[in-house]
Amino acid sequence: MLRDQQAQASLATVLEDEDGLDPRRMAQRCAVHAGVESVAPPGASGVVLNVSVGGLRIALDRALPVGEVCLLRVEHEPGNVTLEHARVVWVKLKADGCVVGLEFVTAH
């Protein structure tokens, strides 16, 4: 679940643009291109590939451990930044980094 109303409003606006469901998923996915940086653990950065009400799929320059709860800084557009807490569900290594599936979690 999203932690604050600003994040919920920003991501909900993106989700309104989606017009179909992926039959493999329970929630709508919306392709986006937003910058992302891992604040905790620090050091990874990349782009958001898609978003749903349940989580994110992101491309990063380095892998994060499966099960890790992360604090992500997402820049939807210049000046529109949200912080998201998410748990790493899966990681697929690529030649130039990785693709990571995350589910939103409530901040501790």
- What CATH class is the domain 5-104? mainly beta
Cα–Cα distance for residue pair 86/68, rounded to 1 Å: 8
> Can you tell me which residue has the tokens 């992926």?
22
Name 25's Cβ contacts closer than 8 Å, sequence gap at least 6. Answer: 52
Other CB atoms within 10 A of residue 33 CB? 9
User: Which pLDDT belongs to residue 79?
Assistant: 86
pLDDT in tens, the chain (108 residues): 333 444 444 443 334 343 444 444 556 778 788 999 999 999 999 999 999 989 999 999 999 999 999 999 999 888 899 999 999 999 999 999 999 999 999 876
* pTM, entire model: 0.72
- Tally of residues, the chain: 108
